[in-house]
Structure 1
Amino acid sequence: MTGRGTYWQMMRVGRGAAASAEAGRIRYWALLLASFLTVLSICGLVLAAAGFDARSERGAARSPRLVEAFPQEQAVALWRNSDDLIGNIPHDVIYITPLTPDAPPPPGLSRWPEPGQAFLSPALREISSSEQLTTRYGRFAGIIGEEGLEAPGERLAYVAPTAELLDRKEMFEISGFGGPGVESLFGEHVHNYEPAYFYAGYIFLVILPTGLLVVVAVRAGAAARDRRITLLDALGATWRARACFAVGEAAVPVAVGTALAVVALAPACAWNVPVPGTEFILSSDDTRQSLSLLALVVAAVPATVLGLAAVFQPRRQHRKLQRAAKKGARRLSQQLAWLFPFALLFTIRGAELVPRILFLPVYAVGCVIVFATLPSVVGLATRELGRLLARVGRKAGGPGLLISGRRMAAKPGSTVRLGATLIIALGLAAQTQLWAGLFGDAAEAAFATRERIGTTMLQITPYASEKRIRNLEQALPSGAALVALEEDFGQARMEITGSCEALQSVKAPCPPNGSSAQVAYANADPRLQELIKRAGAGPSSGLSVRQGDPSNVPMQEENVYALLAIGQHGQDLSIPELSRVANQTLAMRTDVGVLDSSWIAGTGQMTTAIRWVRLMSFVGLGTVALAVGFTAMAEFLRFGRDLAPLSVLNGRRSLFRSAAGWSLLLPTVLAAAAGALVSYWLAAPVTHGVGPDRLTLMSLFPVTGGAIVCAVVLALWGGRAAALASDGWRPTVT
């Protein structure tokens, strides 16, 4: 037989050996899932890069050619960008007016909107009617085409202001859209973090866990596999022959997993696919433009996995060295376990006591020590848990509980690896979510204000002409009153002007016309207290109120002016309703929101980032759970073979299901709960607890839930696999 024929023969032998090997089915599914998830994860990275590039190109193609930047070109339209909020997520609102009848409309529009009309992107159009988006900016004119959007899920509006509200001084003259020398001036990319942050999070939370799963899958059932490889070595097989044997063992599941990944990716080439939990929609055009790179990934991943299967062959190690290493590791583990509670206390309380400049390094060192000592604690806890389960099983007469407890106490290695890996992975995912969702002090204060007073008082800008303010006041919904706010930040002075009815709605005095009255902070309405704190006047300062017409306040150049809509009976006001009224009566560009809503708008990119972090953490931790679960299940299957004689005496297959539940499911549930609790404690010194996406035990539930679901599946599968393996047991005479 030729050398090439020998290699093919070894591959066929490897494929046959894999089907009948110990833990062969577990390794089959581990390799299948590893190949499937690795192809999907790397293809996801390719699609993300293609999406970022395509978004930049589409953003530049729709950006205006400002006459200021291209003075040799003739103006054909007026253009102005603005933004608006839904929750704390900002989106762009573009005001446009053509100057010539033959001016081409912006990409994505079939025509210019008529004065008082608005085109909306599909994402804005599909938002709940409570936001009144079809009437907020004007009469609904149609949908923006996909060619005019950075991504299919982008929120965008094109608005043509009415002749009465058109402010030419605020608008820019443009000569068209796109072309050489034009950069993207607006769009989703402005409201989100740079792509580098996404790549870093994706590699850390998705790519690395899938790499771990690949290594685990290649080494699954290693004990029996290593014996086969060692036998081939003893029979004189060359390294290449042994490698071909290993490739033959892994070829079928790797090929099936890759094929399933291709099937899963196929719909993204034909349709726009929404990404769960992120409000992002993957463009099918971007997917089709990346087909060559995707094909390269589909070819490279299985080749890499098979190469690892061939390379990861057993190494010879002296048994005395193995025993010495295990004894040293056990002694070190016991010593480190006593360091854990002090490290946790140091991180939670010590970081709060040091100067602010030292907080971050002290906190980081504390977290590293906590995660480094955590496996030792898990090891001690596992032994104690095993002894407890054994005692309970002996008293209750439960053989599965008794056997699992004694095994856990005597050989806790697999359980420790399972629990410690899950806890550390959950802790790292929680830390990523925590730091991605940290808001600045001003944003935290704005969220705190919103929680205290809700929308019972809303700020409206700009402070327009007397006629327009009166039009706004007449159009206000019932139960809302209007006052003018004048702020002198240099003197920390504030004054409110309004009717007696409006002033009394915030429990302020109503002085005679032409005079003002002071309102002390301690006695002020909670809404006025928020105003005083925002201006930085402090609790010791007061606020002046004046009876008068809010549309006719004497203006001073150095002061800042705004309007306040107040719920007369303390009721919440509707931001969408007031936005619609202000856009129709006050100005071309208006801003309606809670106090300091501009700071809240700045947290939108953090909210979007947290959504991605939660999704990637769910995928990453689920993958880690599969990796350590497959390892634990392979060891449990060997344990199940040892239980075969007991199943003959017991006469019930439920012994295996019970043992799998106590050996696989219970440690995972306890590890997930412990990981969530430790992560929550570690977050205490960092989070202020007022943002909408703060780290809570409930925010960790999707990630921990994913790990528990994987554990349930693996426990059911492990119990069934052990029961089937026991069917082949036969007593032997020695």
Structure 2
Amino acid sequence: MATAGTTTGLKTTGLRRRPTPRTPLEPRGRRVWWRLIRIGSAAGRGAPGDRLRFWALLAAAAAVAVVALGVAASVATYDGRAARGQARGPVLSDHRHAVALWREAFDAVGGTQHSVVYVEPLKSGATPPPGLSRWPAPGEAVLSPELARAGESDRIMSRYGRYAGTIGKAGLVSPSERLAYVRPAQPPHAAREMEQWLEISGFGRPFPMGESLHSRPLGQLLLALGVLTGVPALALLVVAARIRSRARDRRTGLLRALGGTWRHRALVTLGAAAVPVAAGTALAVLPLLPALCTDLRLPPTGYLLNSGDLRAAWPVLTGALAVSFVLTLVAVALLPRVDPHLDRDLDRAGKPTRPRTSPSATPRRPLIGGALGVALIAFSQYLIGTPALVAFLAGTVVMWAFLPSVAAVAIRRLGHGIAAGGSRAEHPGRLTGGRWTAEHPGSVVRLAVAMVIGLGLISQPQVWNSRLGDKAIAARATEARIGDRVVSVHSRDITPADITAFARALPAGSHVLTIDTSPDQPGPLLQGSCDTLRTLGLACSATPRPAASHDPRMIEIRDWYGQELRVRALKSPSEPQLDRLFGELLVVAESQGQKAAVEQAAYALVPAVNVETPGEIWLVGSAAKARLNNWVQLFGACGLALLLLAGAFSAAAEFARTRRAPASLTVLTASGSVYRSAALWHLTVPLLITTAAAGAVTAWHATFFVATLQGGSVPWGALAAALGGCALTAVTLGVLTGRAAERATRRGQPTAD
């Protein structure tokens, strides 16, 4: 009864349960979140730690936006290349509908191969290839601008005939493509000449030719861009978003005390980050502007971006900027969602607050793990083939995995050594800097790890791409010994009359021989006049004899064509005959520098002729692979710079958090320069030592990689340039942080939150 009466009484008197109190930050519409964003925007320009975070976010946003623009520009460039490649591809046809003859050959300038396309119109109204305003006249050649520029010293303008101008951009997959359109002085007429030509009805079909034959797929380019530059840009973004300051910690604690959730903290973070992220995204447009106005050459690759492709893709570029801005803001808002330092401080109420010191005992696991990785790398050189590569890669992964812990141990010991030296020398800045390094090694460790990994990402792919096969190594040795004093000339269309005319067109001191490499013979047969054979130290005999001579040119010829090489003297100048499939000419000269004249004489007689020094085709192939290192240097240098920037911001933020702690040093030392000295000993000196150590580790690592691959070379030039950048970063970071700390101490007044 009492219970029932009580319940009835509550209902009749109109009493209700009290509602839960509303927290000050409980949403009441759009005004709260807009106010939180404005609070974050105003606070982001307040305390020194926030100003450092402002610049870090600006740099990170610019880096992410540049990578996004790079992806968009790559896609636009490949789309343009594909469209122009299809527009100029020949459409094969039968004899009734053919309007022109088409034939492709290859040549090289400066170790870089290019296509030489021979054309012969069959009808007067036929449309010329894209990029040409008219068909070349008989004996004329039209070159791409890049080929004309690169081959000027090799007399490329007159190699294929009379120079008739340059190919327009519409006929080139890229402005840096090397391509030539040539019309023979005499149209093909014999049946054996016609079999090498294609009959076409026009242009407009996909056809692999020119630069498209050697270009890498878009996926490989984006993968290299993402790994070497995109990942460091994301690392910089994470560091910038995680930068802490006392003012920001107090704001976070106040928001929690007022009942704010992570969403409220995210809104404040968005407000503080909106301006620097927008400014950084806008700055990313600056390197794009020259590429939109003109064809921009990318150092050190030498590749020319087509400005028309980029202008046509402006919606994609604009969308990339917008996506970069949004994703950067979202990442900044979500990354600091959990602040472990603040959570730990809030959760340890009532617990001892005595500060923890760094451990005195040296952990053994990191040292053992790092030593194991080094041992695997060293052991890999005693293996062969795939096991050697697997052991090297496994050792590299293990070494890099334990690198941060090993670096922390080494840098902590270095800090103790610096502090001990400062104590003996009674140097307060050195003592303070050494103790900071010993107690807070993370600032230097992050930069040290960035240096080693960044240098490794630059050097290892270059070592891989610099590998030479046995043939390429032999060709390089031949080039060093005899240069271009032996040149081979090969074409199925060479006739005895052509050989005679060709010999007359050669410069003085050059001699022509024929060589037959038919497999049905006991060995390759070298033939020439008695005078020519005597210049090579060979006997004049009408009966084939072994090629025994100590002349360097003859030694190289025998090495490349086989030790079974035989020699026979020709009875008369009109006797030389060439096997269409297995015959070629050899031009031997007394002095260097005759190849350009040999090429001009050969192309004047026979189209699509191959003129090369012994093994030159192997050197051209290895040079094409080595040129990939230029792209590794481009993306890797940008990635290393971003990693160093991330480490620098992290170290500067750590220094900014602790620079006010020993404020009494200015009183004890009667000088504010103690901060500059402490910053140099805390950052610059350890980082310079770390730079030297990173360079030594990278060089050692690359040397063992060369030994494991049994080929390749260490990129000493790129490594030296990267180490110079690391050293410059160390000096700049120490000077700037020291000056900032000195200015903050000299002012000695609180700043607004």
TM-score where L is the length of structure 1: 0.88
CA contact (8 A) 1:607 1:693 kept: no
- Residue in 1 that maps onto 2:652: 633
Superposition deviation, residue 337 in structure 1: 1.9
Q: Distance in 2 between matches of 1:640 and 1:163?
A: 83
- Residue in 2 that maps onto 1:598: 617
Q: Tell whether 2:683 aligns with 1:661.
A: no
- Residue in 2 that maps onto 1:679: 698
Larger displacement relative to structure 2 (240-249 or 657-666): 657-666
Q: Distance in 2 between matches of 1:399 and 1:565?
A: 76
* Aligned residue type for 1:347: I
- Residue in 1 that maps onto 2:523: 493
Superposition deviation, residue 2 in structure 1: 4.7
Q: Tell whether 2:569 aligns with 1:547.
A: yes
Secondary structure (helix, strand or coil) at the match of 1:10 reads: helix
CA contact (8 A) 1:17 1:249 kept: yes
Q: Distance in 1 between matches of 2:545 and 2:642?
A: 65
Superposition deviation, residue 118 in structure 1: 1.0
**Of 620, 627, 639, which residue of structure 1 is paired with 2:639?**
620
CA contact (8 A) 2:389 2:709 kept: no
Secondary structure (helix, strand or coil) at the match of 1:642 reads: coil
* Aligned residue pairs, count: 710
Superposition deviation, residue 308 in structure 1: 2.2
CA offsets 1:229-276 (integer angstroms, 9 cap, x no match): 122211223433222211111111111111222343233333222222
Q: Distance in 2 between matches of 1:328 and 1:93?
A: 69
* Aligned residue type for 1:461: H
CA offsets 1:152-206 (integer angstroms, 9 cap, x no match): 221111111111788433211111111xxx2132131211222222121111111
CA contact (8 A) 1:448 1:690 kept: no
Q: Tell whether 2:588 aligns with 1:566.
A: yes
CA contact (8 A) 2:672 2:746 kept: no
* Aligned residue type for 2:383: V
* Aligned residue type for 1:546: R
CA offsets 1:72-93 (integer angstroms, 9 cap, x no match): x611111111121122221111
Bigger radius of gyration, 1 or 2? 2
- Residue in 2 that maps onto 1:13: 39
Secondary structure (helix, strand or coil) at the match of 2:608 reads: coil
- Residue in 2 that maps onto 1:42: 68
- Residue in 1 that maps onto 2:7: none
* Aligned residue type for 2:83: E
CA contact (8 A) 1:484 1:551 kept: no
Superposition deviation, residue 100 in structure 1: 1.0
Larger displacement relative to structure 2 (414-423 or 481-490): 481-490
Describe how 1:394-409 pairs up with structure 2 within 5 A: 394=423, 398-409=427-438
Superposition deviation, residue 641 in structure 1: 2.5
CA contact (8 A) 1:80 1:172 kept: yes
CA contact (8 A) 1:117 1:161 kept: yes
**Of 719, 722, 737, which residue of structure 2 is paired with 1:703?**
722
- Residue in 1 that maps onto 2:152: 129
- Cα distance, 1:330–1:186 mapped onto 2, change above 3 Å: farther
Describe how 1:53-132 pairs up with structure 2 within 5 A: 53-68=79-94, 74-127=97-150, 129-132=152-155
Larger displacement relative to structure 2 (391-400 or 5-14): 391-400
Superposition deviation, residue 214 in structure 1: 0.8
Q: Distance in 2 between matches of 1:649 and 1:61?
A: 78
CA contact (8 A) 1:81 1:94 kept: yes
- Cα distance, 1:332–1:479 mapped onto 2, change above 3 Å: farther
CA contact (8 A) 1:37 1:261 kept: yes
Q: Tell whether 2:596 aligns with 1:576.
A: yes
CA offsets 1:437-484 (integer angstroms, 9 cap, x no match): 434443343334334443332222237222222222222233433322
CA contact (8 A) 2:372 2:398 kept: no
CA offsets 1:586-609 (integer angstroms, 9 cap, x no match): x11122222122222323442332
CA offsets 1:513-572 (integer angstroms, 9 cap, x no match): x0344345xx7444434333434x4xxx45433333687445557x7222222232xx43
* Aligned residue type for 1:683: A
- Cα distance, 1:164–1:242 mapped onto 2, change above 3 Å: closer
Superposition deviation, residue 36 in structure 1: 0.9
Larger displacement relative to structure 2 (424-433 or 397-406): 397-406
Would you identify which runs of 4 or more consecutive aligned residues in structure 1 move more than 6 Å?
318-323, 326-332, 688-693
Larger displacement relative to structure 2 (198-207 or 541-550): 541-550
Q: Tell whether 2:734 aligns with 1:715.
A: yes
Secondary structure (helix, strand or coil) at the match of 1:19 reads: coil
Q: Tell whether 2:202 aligns with 1:176.
A: yes
Q: Distance in 1 between matches of 2:209 and 2:631?
A: 22
Q: Distance in 2 between matches of 1:447 and 1:688?
A: 20
Q: Distance in 2 between matches of 1:225 and 1:407?
A: 23
Q: Distance in 2 between matches of 1:329 and 1:560?
A: 76
Superposition deviation, residue 491 in structure 1: 6.8
* Aligned residue type for 1:55: R
Superposition deviation, residue 688 in structure 1: 7.4
Q: Distance in 1 between matches of 2:483 and 2:667?
A: 68
Superposition deviation, residue 327 in structure 1: 10
Q: Distance in 1 between matches of 2:213 and 2:423?
A: 64
- Residue in 1 that maps onto 2:506: 476
Superposition deviation, residue 134 in structure 1: 1.2
CA offsets 1:42-99 (integer angstroms, 9 cap, x no match): 111111012112211110100111115xx7x611111111121122221111111111
Larger displacement relative to structure 2 (239-248 or 646-655): 646-655
- Residue in 1 that maps onto 2:233: 210
Q: Distance in 1 between matches of 2:322 and 2:687?
A: 35
Superposition deviation, residue 373 in structure 1: 3.0
- Residue in 2 that maps onto 1:188: 211
Secondary structure (helix, strand or coil) at the match of 2:524 reads: strand
Secondary structure (helix, strand or coil) at the match of 1:563 reads: strand
Q: Distance in 1 between matches of 2:328 and 2:148?
A: 45
Larger displacement relative to structure 2 (462-471 or 141-150): 462-471
- Residue in 1 that maps onto 2:5: none
CA contact (8 A) 1:483 1:498 kept: yes
- Residue in 1 that maps onto 2:18: none
**Of 285, 292, 300, which residue of structure 1 is paired with 2:308?**
285
- Cα distance, 1:687–1:87 mapped onto 2, change above 3 Å: farther
Q: Distance in 1 between matches of 2:106 and 2:532?
A: 30
CA contact (8 A) 2:490 2:585 kept: yes
- Residue in 1 that maps onto 2:11: none
Superposition deviation, residue 103 in structure 1: 0.8
CA contact (8 A) 1:121 1:156 kept: yes
CA contact (8 A) 2:144 2:179 kept: yes
**Of 298, 302, 322, which residue of structure 1 is paired with 2:325?**
302
Structure 2: state its 5+ residue gaps: 1-26
Superposition deviation, residue 643 in structure 1: 4.7
- Residue in 2 that maps onto 1:445: 474
- Cα distance, 1:165–1:203 mapped onto 2, change above 3 Å: same
Q: Distance in 2 between matches of 1:691 and 1:67?
A: 49
CA offsets 1:625-658 (integer angstroms, 9 cap, x no match): 1111110111122343335432344455544444
- Cα distance, 1:242–1:437 mapped onto 2, change above 3 Å: same
Secondary structure (helix, strand or coil) at the match of 2:467 reads: coil
CA offsets 1:471-524 (integer angstroms, 9 cap, x no match): 222222334333223335677833332344543444x32233x0344345xx74
Q: Distance in 2 between matches of 1:101 and 1:8?
A: 73
Q: Distance in 2 between matches of 1:330 and 1:374?
A: 20
Superposition deviation, residue 31 in structure 1: 0.7
- Cα distance, 1:485–1:219 mapped onto 2, change above 3 Å: same
- Residue in 2 that maps onto 1:528: 554
- Residue in 1 that maps onto 2:21: none
Secondary structure (helix, strand or coil) at the match of 1:188 reads: helix
Superposition deviation, residue 38 in structure 1: 0.9
Q: Distance in 2 between matches of 1:691 and 1:619?
A: 29
RMSD: 3.2
- Cα distance, 1:489–1:577 mapped onto 2, change above 3 Å: same
- Residue in 1 that maps onto 2:59: 33
**Of 270, 292, 316, which residue of structure 2 is paired with 1:247?**
270
- Residue in 2 that maps onto 1:261: 284
CA contact (8 A) 1:487 1:493 kept: yes
